[in-house]
Copies of this chain bind each other. A is one copy, B any other.
Amino acid sequence: MHSWIDGQEATAVNLQNRGLAYGDGLFETIAVRGGRPSLLTRHLDRLALGCQRLAIEVDLTLVRNELLQFASQLGEGVAKLMLTRGDSLRGYAPAVGAPARRILQGGPLPTYPAQNAEHGIRVFPCRTRLAEQPLLAGLKHLNRLEQVLARAEWQDAAFAEGLMRDSQGRVIEGVYSNLFLVREGTLLTADLSRCGVAGVMRAALLEQAVALGIPAQVRDLALSELEQADEVFVCNSVYGVWPVLEFTSLNWPAGPLTRKLQAVARTLLDT
Contact = CB atoms under 8 A, between A and B. Distances in A.
Interface of A: 1, 3, 5, 10-24, 27, 29, 54-55, 78, 80, 82, 84-85, 89-94, 103, 105, 107, 110, 128-129, 131-133, 135-136, 141-152, 167, 175-176, 195
17 contacts: A1-B89, A5-B15, A13-B20, A20-B84, A22-B143, A22-B144, A23-B145, A24-B144, A29-B90, A90-B105, A90-B107, A92-B150, A93-B152, A128-B135, A129-B133, A131-B133, A131-B136
Please give the count of copies of this chain that the complex contains. 2
Contacts of A18: 148
A164 to B, nearest CB: 11
Nearest to A162: B92
Given A22-B23, A91-B151, 8 more contacts: A1-B16, A17-B20, A23-B143, A24-B144, A24-B148, A94-B148, A94-B152, A131-B133
A23 B152 contact: no
A176 to B, nearest CB: 7
Contacts of A16: 1
A142 B23 contact: yes
Given A23-B22, A133-B131, A14 B15 contact: no
Specify which of A24, A82, A148, A152 lies most central, judged by the most chain B CB atoms within 10 Å of its CB: A148
A23 B107 CA distance: 21
Contacts of A55: 152
Contact of A89 (B21, B107, B146): B107
A192 to B, nearest CB: 14
